[in-house]
């Protein structure tokens, strides 16, 4: 059994996650990354007072609101345990007024989905001249759109599955002609696998598209890649250890991510060290290529020949008891408090936003 393979919620409370798992750092010798002991670059303490008064933005109005509320509660509690002067704000239409009245010094943004992860709140915070965590306006807006992310990746030679853009007037027969079956039908601008269907035959395409159109007016039909589902967390200039997800469901959907206890998370992921290092380096470069920064996650499939296929970037991943970045950080010896402090520190870096 993998050293960190657990089911569902139990993984968040793993007593002794393996330490010393490889990290990958920009500017080094292996595929553009430096690989070394965790303690050499990870344990730099920052005075909590340096952050001033911090607003933790969570909730919001997207389809991922409930997940964001859970993530926000986790982040807020961890920051307060670290003696950061942090306050939670359930972001609504008056969020900018709340920030102005509160005289905050910076923002920890843990809003998932539209309004919080798509460049909208980032642009508003730029106008308010409030530093914030994570990706800036460009990286947030681009990666929220799965189609545009894939366009950039394709132009730069990154491997990503072929796809067809689907609008309400699209001839669905073109999907089978160009991609074959199975395919994934997914909203262009949703996260947490909301509105995604696996389609194995032509007669089910229309129903899958109708589900997708409940969440967006443009969809992607993407060639289904059979293989293992993996994710690579990004923290600053480093890629965290890969996690392999295993679910009895047809794929790693919303239920498998948040609601069931049958999903298994494998970290170490079971790949040879050199292959894991190469894939993590690929994911970090793909993250940077679309303008993302600070922290996030890149999801991918390894096909039956163990070739990587990049699926999407998540610039504000979940921080719940089911979430992947905290699991990967734990496998690298980074506890939750250190993780949130490192994410908060991305708001101190000059030029972190763009």
Spatial distance between the Cα atoms of 200 and 190, rounded to a whole number of angstroms:
22
For every residue of 114-132, DSSP letters joined together read TTTSSSHHHHHHHHHT--B
H or E element in which residue 212 lies: helix 205-213
Among 113, 312, 323, 333, the active-site one is 312
Which bin fits 166, alpha (ψ -120 to 50), beta or left (φ > 0)? Answer: beta
Grouping H, G, I as helix, E, B as strand and the rest as coil, residue 299 is: strand
Among 297, 323, 333, 347, the active-site one is 297
The two tokens of residue 30 are 């292996």
Spatial distance between the Cα atoms of 229 and 13, rounded to a whole number of angstroms:
22
Among 68, 71, 135, 192, the active-site one is 192
Based on the residue annotation, tell me whether 318 is a catalytic residue of this protein. Answer: yes
Among 62, 64, 72, 276, the active-site one is 64
Spatial distance between the Cα atoms of 176 and 178, rounded to a whole number of angstroms:
6
**Beta-strand pair 24-30/6-7:** unpaired
Based on the residue annotation, tell me whether 102 is a catalytic residue of this protein. Answer: no
Spatial distance between the Cα atoms of 58 and 231, rounded to a whole number of angstroms:
23
Residue 7 phi/psi, 5° resolution?
A: -110, 135
Beta strand spans in the chain (E): 6-7, 24-30, 33-34, 53-59, 85-91, 106-109, 163-166, 183-187, 197-199, 219-223, 227-235, 238-239, 243-246, 264-266, 295-303, 308-314
Based on the residue annotation, tell me whether 299 is a catalytic residue of this protein. Answer: yes
Based on the residue annotation, tell me whether 192 is a catalytic residue of this protein. Answer: yes
Which residue bears the tokens 């303490």? 45
Which residue bears the tokens 């870096």? 349
Among 314, 323, 342, 347, the active-site one is 314
Based on the residue annotation, tell me whether 145 is a catalytic residue of this protein. Answer: no
Among 299, 323, 333, 347, the active-site one is 299
Helix axes 146-156, 273-289, angle to 10 degrees: 110
Based on the residue annotation, tell me whether 109 is a catalytic residue of this protein. Answer: no
* DSSP one-letter code for 265: E
Cis peptide before 268 (omega within 30 of 0): yes
**Beta-strand pair 238-239/308-314:** unpaired
Spatial distance between the Cα atoms of 308 and 297, rounded to a whole number of angstroms:
15
Q: Would you give the distance in Å from CA 141 to the centre of its chain?
A: 14
Among 59, 113, 195, 318, the active-site one is 318
Q: Which of 96, 155, 156, 148 is nearest to 126 (CA)?
A: 96
Catalytic residues: 64, 192, 258, 297, 299, 312, 314, 318
């Amino acid at each position: 059994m993998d050293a960190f393979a657990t089911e569902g919620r139990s993984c968040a409370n793993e007593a002794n996650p393996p330490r010393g798992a490889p990290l990958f750092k920009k500017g080094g010798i292996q595929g553009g990354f430096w690989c070394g002991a965790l303690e050499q670059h990870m344990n730099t303490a920052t005075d909590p007072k340096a952050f001033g008064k911090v607003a933790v933005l969570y909730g919001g109005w997207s389809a991922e609101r409930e997940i964001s509320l859970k993530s926000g509660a986790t982040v807020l509690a961890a920051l307060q345990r670290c003696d950061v002067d942090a306050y939670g704000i359930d972001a609504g239409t008056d969020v900018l007024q709340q920030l102005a009245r509160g005289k905050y010094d910076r923002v920890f943004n843990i809003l998932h989905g539209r309004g919080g992860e798509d460049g909208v709140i980032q642009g508003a915070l730029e106008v308010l001249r409030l530093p914030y965590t994570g990706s800036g306006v460009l990286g947030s807006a681009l990666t929220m759109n799965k189609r545009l992310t894939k366009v950039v990746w394709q132009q730069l030679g990154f491997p990503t599955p072929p796809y067809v853009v689907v609008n309400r007037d699209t001839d669905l027969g073109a999907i089978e002609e160009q991609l074959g079956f199975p395919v994934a039908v997914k909203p262009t601008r949703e996260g947490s696998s909301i509105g995604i269907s696996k389609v194995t035959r032509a007669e089910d395409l229309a129903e899958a598209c109708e589900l997708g159109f409940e969440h967006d007016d443009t969809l992607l039909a993407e060639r289904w890649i059979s293989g293992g589902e993996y994710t690579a967390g990004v923290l600053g200039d480093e890629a965290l250890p890969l996690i392999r997800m295993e679910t009895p469901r047809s794929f790693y959907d919303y239920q498998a991510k948040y609601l069931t206890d049958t999903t298994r998370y494998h970290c170490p992921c079971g790949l040879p060290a050199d292959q894991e290092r190469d894939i993590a380096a690929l994911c970090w470069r793909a993250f940077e290529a679309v303008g993302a920064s600070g922290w996030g996650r890149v999801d991918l499939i390894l096909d039956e020949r163990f070739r990587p296929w990049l699926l999407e970037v998540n610039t504000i991943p979940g921080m719940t008891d089911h979430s992947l970045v905290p699991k990967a950080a734990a496998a690298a010896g980074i506890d939750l408090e250190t993780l949130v402090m490192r994410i908060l520190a991305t708001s101190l870096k000059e030029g972190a936003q763009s």
